[in-house]
A and B are shown apart, each in its own frame.
Chain A
């Protein structure tokens, strides 16, 4: 059976095509401001890459904040359930999933059969999300992709105490003005994100093995900071960013 999952996030759209438990391909693109177009666009592009026809896809599940805009999907399922299903597909042993995306972050615990046991999401605030990191990258005039490696070179991470993104940004600016090293500031930013997420994770109760998913999982600095904050090791799959779409494609199998 061939299924597809489409995840429309606040910043990026992701698509995955799955054939009988084998991932045929995946794709990531910017969402833009039209969620409906983003869904159609990424689905068509991925099919073209795979040289497949839309008619060969039997079931489609959409997820992400734009899930209800994907009109050609058979069903919309929230990213919470899909991230659980995706992580379970990648490693059925996983019991906790930490997903950090563009505008929200969530922690979910999963049962041994892959269903979600409990979850927590960040409140209406950018702290602890990809957006927070983006704002900081702008303040630092750095490329976000360099954040991870740079932070690993920090000797003593700066203390960023403010949770509020706007206040934290001004803290960062004053640290720059004081001549604090870029590495230390970035490491401090990662610790701030990690402390926000770890308190949410503790709320649902962290059970190992832990997997991190979502775009921010590509940032090794955040992953390490989170490992330190939670005292556990965290696995990151190469498909972390498309995990929601992957889970959607998995969910589509049993529709």
Chain B
């Protein structure tokens, strides 16, 4: 590789700035909703946001906010504050940071805008139910819980009917709070945009199949924000279309995300938000590119189950119920193995996240399966996604170094 070749790799993406602008605008809109007369709903990351968009309600994500708190290294203080309030240190650090933030208006944006309602979907974990109940009491606002039964392997007809009925209740709930009817045509339009954005997001992630990969999972963690927060809007569709173009251009120009991609890795679990830079540099120093992850692809997994696109409201249930954290370990293994093959990875990096039990439980089984089925090495890093008090640099470093040495020995 020549020096000029080297220079062109690892360059910053143009879309980064665009994303920042959109997110700033989004948070300003949300924070000034009181003045513009718009309603604000807090919603869980895996919750069905499309009806909110269709009702012109601004969706706000405490989990996205939690990620921002983590990335700004403000997590430990807020988590500690929650512990002082009486919450256990074993509780998810998103929940702790959010609950504390409501009381002190802390964090990088001075707290989230006050909600008019809360929407909680338990397709990611059970923690969110208690967390949202706490917040519903604190803000004294109505709470809607969408209960998605755990889908070990199948989505039964009973489950389908059960979820479907709740979707209708959800609509009734929103109509009650907003005192207006849902425009069904608009709902279908939003649904169409949501599916389109998910397809584009998947296409963006798929550009990592190229060698060298034009993006790392650290890029994906960053560009993820819109598919989470603004799924169902034209803004998200436009953004991902231009991001896809940028990635495709990089591929055409042979630009890699890291200077010298020698090894390709898969990441599992949530990011360690306060250590993204350190981790990405650490892996890049070993010429290792984390090309894909199980986390960011969770926001396009519903595509698998979207049977009737013309009827979004009726068909979205299954996609939401079969979210990555609401399926059995055997199903997770299938998805991970698919990713190992698709992105042609040499190793598997698993973040055992003490915050997120549903994500971390079963990791050893998944690890064993990947080792047995594909014979690739893996490493487990113990940490917390937001609470930096539980991160040990030297221990993590040793694990990563040893893991990379092991992969090197294998070659």
Chain A residues with Cβ under 8 A from B406's Cβ?
A: 80-81, 115-119
With A80-B398, A115-B410 already in contact, the answer to whether A123 and B382 are too (CB < 8 A) is: yes
The docked-state distance in angstroms from the alpha carbon of A116 to that of B406 is 6
B398 touches A78 (CB 8 A): yes
> How far, in angstroms, from A81 to B403 measured CA to CA in the complex?
9
B interface, size bucket:
10 to 19
Q: Complex: how many Å from CA A81 to CA B409? A: 9
Residues of A within 8 A of B352 (CB): 123
Contact bitstring A93-127, B, C-beta under 8 A = 1, else 0: 00000000000100000000001111111011000
> Which range holds the interface residue count of chain A?
10 to 19
Interface of A is mostly: mixed
Residues of chain A lying within 8 A (CB to CB) of residue B398:
65, 78-80, 121
Taking a contact as CB atoms under 8 Å apart, the answer to whether A80 and B371 are in contact is no
| A137 interfacial by beta-carbon distance below 8 Å | no
Docked-complex contact B382 and A116, CB < 8 angstroms: no
A residues within 8 A CB of B380?
A: 120
**CB atoms of B392 and A80 under 8 A apart:** no
Minimum Cβ distance to chain B for residue A87 (Å): 15
Check A121/B410 contact, CB under 8 A, given A77-B405, A80-B405, A203-B364: no
**Are A78 and B402 in contact, with the CB atoms below 8 A?**
yes
Task: Determine whether B399 belongs to the interface, using a CB cutoff of 8 Å to chain A.
Answer: yes
B14 within 8 A of A: no
Interchain CA distance A203-B402 in the complex, whole Å: 17
B residues touching A (Cβ–Cβ < 8 Å)?
Answer: 352, 364, 371, 377, 380, 382, 390, 392, 394-395, 398-399, 401-402, 405-406, 409-410
Given A81-B406, A104-B395, 9 other A-B residues pairs in contact with their CB atoms under 8 A: A78-B398, A79-B402, A81-B402, A115-B406, A118-B377, A118-B406, A121-B395, A121-B398, A203-B364
19 contacts between A and B (CB under 8 A): A65-B394, A77-B405, A78-B398, A78-B401, A78-B402, A78-B405, A79-B398, A80-B402, A81-B409, A115-B406, A115-B410, A116-B409, A118-B377, A118-B406, A121-B395, A121-B398, A121-B399, A124-B390, A124-B395
What 5 A-B pairs have minimum CB-CB distances, sorted nearest first? Answer: A80-B402, A78-B402, A115-B409, A123-B382, A78-B401
